[in-house]
Amino acid sequence: MLFYLWRKPVSSYKILPFQFKHIFDDVVLLVNECGDFIFLKSDIFDKFIRHILSNKDENFLRLKSHLFVAQDEIESSLQKISVRYRTKKSFLRDFTTLHMMVITLRCNQRCEYCQVSCAEEDAQNYDMKIDVARRIVDTIFSAPTKNPKIEFQGGEPLLNWPVIKDVVFYAEKLAEEKRKKVEFVICTNLTLITKEQLYFCRDHNIAISTSLDGPEYLHDACRKTKAGGGTYNLFLEKLALARSIVGHDGVDALMTTSSVSLQHLEDIVKEYIRQGMSGIFIRSLNPYGFAAEQSEKLGYTAKEFAKQYLKTLDFIININKKIFFPEHFATLLLSRILTPFSTGFVDLQSPSGAGISGVIYDYDGSVFPADEARMLARMGDRHFCLGNVLTDTYYDIFAGNKLQELTKRSCVEVTPPCSWCVYQAYCGSDPIRNYLESGKELRIMENTPFCIKHRYIFDGIFKRLYYANNETKDILWSWITHNPGLVQRHDMY
């Protein structure tokens, strides 16, 4: 709910814009335009909005320090809010930084939840050609960012290894010429990787992102070979090989939650710890590709996921009383809530990060604002295709009407369902998923699975912040600061 009242003649203070929600029966959560928040008891909140709260009251001083109220310093308070708001939106300065290249659609596995609907390993005409790859790299280095990141995706990108090598050499050459710093990531299931490829990754500082869905019984339930066999044991063998060459921290893993694993998230956390992972990102299923085809078998509701997520978050917080092991999605949300800084998470930004923070190039040179848009194209709907590097200029692709319309329609601050939501300052939008789930309407809507999931998780996180003791506060701050040594930050709010 939005509260926007500037002054009242009989009052000694002026209320600045904020949103609020009764997070408990007797506790109100207030969040202002730049993301500062405060908890108030209901009776204090009632006095505050009625302009009868004493300016000597401890709660009034807290409200003033967090820019919810001003007395004579209204101009300076607004200036502080604008500076903090600009800092929160600083991810917009770099424009498109993440550039994902689909090196091939071919894959040697058939994962049940695959959101891409990959081609067979021996299929023809699904590999990116070198001339297409170089045109993509030219486009990448036309972007204003000084630190582009190129992410090789598939299918299984290692099936088109020669093009990966060519892109790396060509991008390094352009980076030197244009005085930019380029980073590389390969997203691979690891099962095909060789020593030669790993030495190349080591020599060119290429990070490796892979997939681990939990212990053997969970990993093999969804991540299968084309013949239907499990991949867990081979994965562990190749993981050990990769770490021995590129280093332990050179390999990171992601998991995807299906209905098979939803009730076993704690087992997945334990497996990540056993395998020496630095943390975990508990990620929900995307409604695309094979996952869409098997939604009844693999799917679950947004609330079911959020409930299990919060239960597992408590489990991870308890683990952190002994070892440092962050949950990365909670870390991202906590960074937005507890610090003034931008996180730049493409999937949860306003305006949406689709196209303006990250972009994906298909194997044929087609350009999409997000992986989800490419997946829609694979399902037959090319509505979000921004162009093709073989026929369109950088300006045509990134300044065209499609991306402008997508960006304009994805700002939660000016969208009725979101503008008065208490979590608006921390949230974002996924217009492409809304388009899919709403019957092809490009607008933000209330009570979509995306909205329900994030609202439920935000509720849970703020309730945990309200009740957090000093030990829990230290743990949460250690995640934000990436500091395994527990930091002393008991005054987070």
52 vs 479: CA distance, rounded Å = 40
Query: 246-278: per-residue pLDDT in tens?
Result: 999 999 999 999 999 999 999 999 999 999 999
H helices, E strands: number in the chain:
20, 14
The answer to whether the CB of 404 falls within 8 A of the CB of 436 is no
pLDDT at 490: 40
Which has more confidence, 178 or 10? 178
Q: Is the pLDDT of residue 8 over 70?
A: no
Return phi, psi of residue 41, to 5°: -65, 150
Which has more confidence, 443 or 171? 171
Burial class from Cβ neighbours inside 10 Å (0-12, 13-18, 19+) for residue 248 reads: exposed
Type of residue at 224: K
Q: Residue holding tokens 């979509």?
A: 448
CB atoms under 10 Å from CB of 383, counted, come to: 12
pTM reported for the whole predicted model: 0.92
Type of residue at 275: Q
Q: Is the pLDDT of residue 442 over 90?
A: no
pLDDT band for position 151 (cuts 50, 70, 90): very high
The answer to whether the CB of 343 falls within 8 A of the CB of 337 is no
The full set of domain ranges for the chain reads 14-87, 94-300+354-399
pLDDT at 123: 82
pLDDT at 4: 52
Rg of the chain over Cα atoms, rounded to whole angstroms, equals 24
Q: 127: which strand partners?
A: 104
Query: 177-205: per-residue pLDDT in tens?
Result: 999 999 999 999 999 999 999 999 999 99
For strand 37-41 and strand 366-368, is the pairing parallel, antiparallel, or unpaired?
unpaired
Q: Is the pLDDT of residue 491 over 80?
A: no
Least confident of 2-11, 181-190, 203-212, 291-300: 2-11
pLDDT at 228: 85
Average pLDDT along the chain:
91
Angle subtended at Cα 110 by Cα 358 and Cα 149, rounded to the nearest 5 degrees: 20
Q: How far is C-alpha 362 from the geometric centre of its chain's CA atoms?
A: 21
| Cis previous bond, 155, omega within 30 | yes
302 vs 450: CA distance, rounded Å = 7
CATH number of 94-300+354-399: 3.20.20.70
Q: Is the pLDDT of residue 45 over 70?
A: yes
The sign of the CA dihedral 328, 245, 153, 342 is positive
Query: 409-429: per-residue pLDDT in tens?
Result: 899 998 888 889 999 999 998
